Structure 1
């Protein structure tokens, strides 16, 4: 029987601390960490590890992580890029010699070349060390996830569905240790108890030895070995040389709301370009999810994605024109390309002279700090490759590279690929006070989901839960961007679909039931009722408001004492 997605959750309101995630056990552990004296960063990392246990078909220590941390004392947003890099021996020449080209790329999930160095474990340690409370050790932060992995947990309904869909990767005879992620050789069913003792041991090594517990020794050897077994060229040196980077976040001012993102190689710049374009439109006057609104939204997203698909690349190796892409003048020129009476058919990226499953979760603590955190394997279990004795799968982020030698995102040694996962944050453009910590997971749906949920709050006055409940649209799909197709969700009427088609849009859907996960799964915490206007959140002790997406198994939890 298909699960229904009708939500009648009230928005969670509290004062001391709050968390929201796609798994209720992760949310509960986040609250426990806050109550034990940890702050928003500590709670986020504890939840990241817990989600690896309870939702390994979306995330894990074999993947990557990005984070935005709001420091309440300094009123400053910090950015953590925890994405991994290509192996030092992975060159375009090597791929060409092996017969891989732009028109015939290596398999996205069935080849070792798809694996980049996992960045999540280093990001976890670095986030706690740089932004944590200092009151809890790494072992204390990871201990709840370790205990859950050892003692077992009941699998949630939507997670069981995703686990089953991805289980073919784990049962592949060439994936020798895939069985470690199964229960009696099969994906666990809803309510069945799953244990991960091998993953618990991996967590213990990270907790005890820090980053060296993952990037050297037994775990690193196992990772390199399984990647090479599947045709990749990753070595233990590639793992040992991995570092997290702390970069200045990028932002734009949308009508007094300053929206923050991690800079490229993450696709958060897509959100910001779209917001700049939309800022010049009367969205409120159009009406929520009206034909005019959806048309304008989709055309703006097409323009922003077209730019991102070309310019988004590793800024340590490529000169990405971020100031130009985020200028208001450029947005005005792009906005002028939108035709109210018809859908665009062919869009080119801008030109400047210059020298693509996931879990998202968010936390806020009583000191006013917040952490917007996202962790991912990319496509479900990623490659599905399981290192011997480790209890996790490896991501397939390497499939995000281009094999076009002229493309800024072309594959190269020690380079980070185009990355889909993006945490979001909003502050008051004048005071720098925190307003929103939010994100929507789901591949190329992520910036689209961020824009739609943010507009739901600031343009249409919805609280965080209502903003997440509202039906969405998606241009292209979660694992690729195709500007010629728009998919709509149940709740958008057939009359609206008909009128969108009359404008020249190719529309699929409405999608119903469990297929609504296509539109991403978000979490939101606001400080104060900012959806009633920015000034509404400026009490001396602002209330935290939170929502959790009905398209996932999760929940928002808060506390007051």
Structure 2
């Protein structure tokens, strides 16, 4: 198939009224340079990047010209025949490749990568959070799923939670938002089934990094410093912040600067104990005892008994077809099936004819999101506590009913969830090995670095995932002791003709199903390869109905449609003319990693991609 070239001026911009005057009415670009809103530089003067600025903005300057591939792509995918990895930090990617070269499985590499990222990228993940994975098992030739999600403390009642609520939702910080960390048990459970190398060897790279230190890259330094400032504000409700500031505050208490070497000897000791004692060191041993003592000291609720009771579970992923590809998603208590719902709705439209980055294409995708997220707010919950009508939600017939509500000449309002039948800031990484095993894994502390709480001497922060419980009577996701909260983190996986195709993910809260859908549409409908599919400009819709404290409130009946600056101006104006409230880019468009499996005759070839929105890289060998 001939390579497609994409340019800013595209047919399809006139498919929605108002596009004709797009250039004349184009919205003004954000002020810059820098985050502080400094005046834009005179284009006639030589630009310079002021020391200490987070950004260097020149709206009149675009990316350089690539002689091959999409004009907006940041780089070429990495290719290899023996293994591949893509992560949000180059040192984590290198660690994964090293494990693969030593004969480790893709699961071994995933564990090593995740352990490294907990030190290298604490703004997104760590052993105080939860983990989910989808694994292509080459022996059984199927996708298997693992849910490593912890439950709420058994000693924390609904009455207490409601007494601590703010604005009808759980607070985002402090002990009230902490649930059992599931990550270490998820690693152990995966390794017991699919590991090749000794358990302790998988944690060696992370231990060495935490002891010796590593320079902090731009994005991660920026978000650590933002987190430290947020934790230090009065009125946060965090029971204590001294441990967090001691761990990440550095000399000035504000966090590491870009390029500054950061070390975490407390985390190194914790990982060494886990390397020696396995998962029991964390859930029943001295680490569990330290956690218990800490939460008793600060007046929190997590106890050793909660940790002892925790177990990950193998789950059967759900699946839907999309124009010849099979897209897989985890159910359990995640938002994974929102991706399937969105794709089912979009399959009823000719997305290829709509045109890449056209107003019609983005309009249809955003409307599919709004419909799916109404169901997300109404039905998604821990299936151990609620009967979730998953098969109905992801059925093609239901998608056809929902698709009929979408109009191309106006925005659907109001938007409601379907009527069920009566029967009823994250890190992502991907890796693959020489035998064809592929791992799509996502791990998170939820919002930012997490709850703000760090147990004495352990060097990791506890997640604030509990904020995603509902407090509404009768809701399937209502808070209960020992219950898993609704989860935003979802790995992605796609197969074709019974063979693995893409192990992929897009990090970032409620952006994840929206981002996954855009990746699939870019690849299937617009023919983009894996690197340009991730580099393409994205949209992010905010303001869908919700019963937990995630989406922003007060955004009006149609919410807020944020568009990256790379979306063609004609498209931006046409969408505004259609009635969408267009928001400025805010960095909330997710971060993508992908490993693609392909065959060159009888030879397996991997392609690995990592986009420019993160500090990461992809490698293959």
Other-structure match for 1:462: 528
Asked whether the 8 Å contact 2:326–2:495 carries over to 1, the reply is: yes
CA gap of 1:263–1:196, structure 2 versus 1, over 3 A, is: same
Other-structure match for 1:15: 81
Other-structure match for 2:491: 423
Other-structure match for 1:141: 202
Other-structure match for 2:277: 209
After TM superposition, give the deviation of residue 113 of structure 1 in Å: 1.3
Looking at structure 2, the residues matched to 145 and 245 of structure 1 have their Cα atoms a distance apart, in angstroms, of 25
Residue 152 of structure 1, aligned match among 196, 206, 213: 213
After TM superposition, give the deviation of residue 169 of structure 1 in Å: 4.9
1:73-132 deviation per Cα after TM superposition (whole angstroms, max 9, x unaligned): 211111010111011122223334x3537x4433211x2110000001111111111222
**SS in structure 2 opposite 1:368?**
coil
State how 1:43-62 maps to structure 2 within 5 Å.
43-62=109-128
Other-structure match for 1:524: 594
Residue 29 of structure 1, aligned match among 87, 95, 107: 95
CA gap of 1:123–1:99, structure 2 versus 1, over 3 A, is: closer
Asked whether the 8 Å contact 1:69–1:131 carries over to 2, the reply is: no
Other-structure match for 2:392: 324
Other-structure match for 1:541: 603
Looking at structure 2, the residues matched to 479 and 403 of structure 1 have their Cα atoms a distance apart, in angstroms, of 13
Looking at structure 1, the residues matched to 423 and 292 of structure 2 have their Cα atoms a distance apart, in angstroms, of 37
After TM superposition, give the deviation of residue 186 of structure 1 in Å: 2.9
State how 1:100-179 maps to structure 2 within 5 Å.
100=165, 103-109=167-173, 111-132=174-195, 134=196, 136-169=197-230, 171=232, 174-178=240-244, 179=246
Residue 423 of structure 2, aligned match among 350, 354, 359: 354
* 1:64 matched to 2:139: no
After TM superposition, give the deviation of residue 479 of structure 1 in Å: 4.3
TM value normalised by structure 1: 0.93
Asked whether the 8 Å contact 2:161–2:176 carries over to 1, the reply is: no
Question: Which 5+ residue runs of structure 2 have no aligned equivalent?
Answer: 1-52, 57-61, 64-72, 234-238, 544-548
Other-structure match for 2:563: 488
After TM superposition, give the deviation of residue 226 of structure 1 in Å: 3.6
Looking at structure 2, the residues matched to 227 and 280 of structure 1 have their Cα atoms a distance apart, in angstroms, of 51
* 1:553 matched to 2:615: yes
Bigger mean CA offset, 18-27 vs 248-257: 248-257
TM value normalised by structure 2: 0.84
* 1:197 matched to 2:265: yes
Return the structure number with greater helix share. Answer: 1
Other-structure match for 1:534: none
After TM superposition, give the deviation of residue 229 of structure 1 in Å: 4.6
Q: Which runs of 4+ in 1 moved over 4 A?
A: 3-7, 169-173, 228-231
CA gap of 1:182–1:539, structure 2 versus 1, over 3 A, is: farther
Asked whether the 8 Å contact 2:168–2:471 carries over to 1, the reply is: no
1:445-489 deviation per Cα after TM superposition (whole angstroms, max 9, x unaligned): 001000001111111111111011100000107942665111000
1:256-286 deviation per Cα after TM superposition (whole angstroms, max 9, x unaligned): 2111111131101100000111111111111
Bigger mean CA offset, 37-46 vs 82-91: 82-91
Looking at structure 1, the residues matched to 290 and 473 of structure 2 have their Cα atoms a distance apart, in angstroms, of 32
1:114-154 deviation per Cα after TM superposition (whole angstroms, max 9, x unaligned): 0000001111111111222x2x1111011011111111111
**SS in structure 2 opposite 1:58?**
coil
* 1:442 matched to 2:508: yes
Other-structure match for 2:254: 186
Looking at structure 2, the residues matched to 106 and 245 of structure 1 have their Cα atoms a distance apart, in angstroms, of 26
After TM superposition, give the deviation of residue 231 of structure 1 in Å: 4.2
Say how many residue pairs are matched: 538
Looking at structure 1, the residues matched to 286 and 498 of structure 2 have their Cα atoms a distance apart, in angstroms, of 45
Looking at structure 2, the residues matched to 228 and 274 of structure 1 have their Cα atoms a distance apart, in angstroms, of 44
**SS in structure 2 opposite 1:375?**
strand
Bigger mean CA offset, 490-499 vs 197-206: 490-499
Looking at structure 1, the residues matched to 247 and 515 of structure 2 have their Cα atoms a distance apart, in angstroms, of 34
1:514-552 deviation per Cα after TM superposition (whole angstroms, max 9, x unaligned): x4x310001011112xxxxxxxx5732132112101000
Asked whether the 8 Å contact 1:170–1:182 carries over to 2, the reply is: no
Residue 375 of structure 1, aligned match among 443, 468, 483: 443
Bigger mean CA offset, 340-349 vs 289-298: 340-349
Asked whether the 8 Å contact 1:169–1:384 carries over to 2, the reply is: no
Tell me how large the CA RMSD over aligned residues is. 1.8
Asked whether the 8 Å contact 2:74–2:611 carries over to 1, the reply is: no
After TM superposition, give the deviation of residue 176 of structure 1 in Å: 2.8
State how 1:238-317 maps to structure 2 within 5 Å.
238-317=306-385
Asked whether the 8 Å contact 2:164–2:171 carries over to 1, the reply is: no
State how 1:395-406 maps to structure 2 within 5 Å.
395-406=463-474
Looking at structure 2, the residues matched to 290 and 224 of structure 1 have their Cα atoms a distance apart, in angstroms, of 54
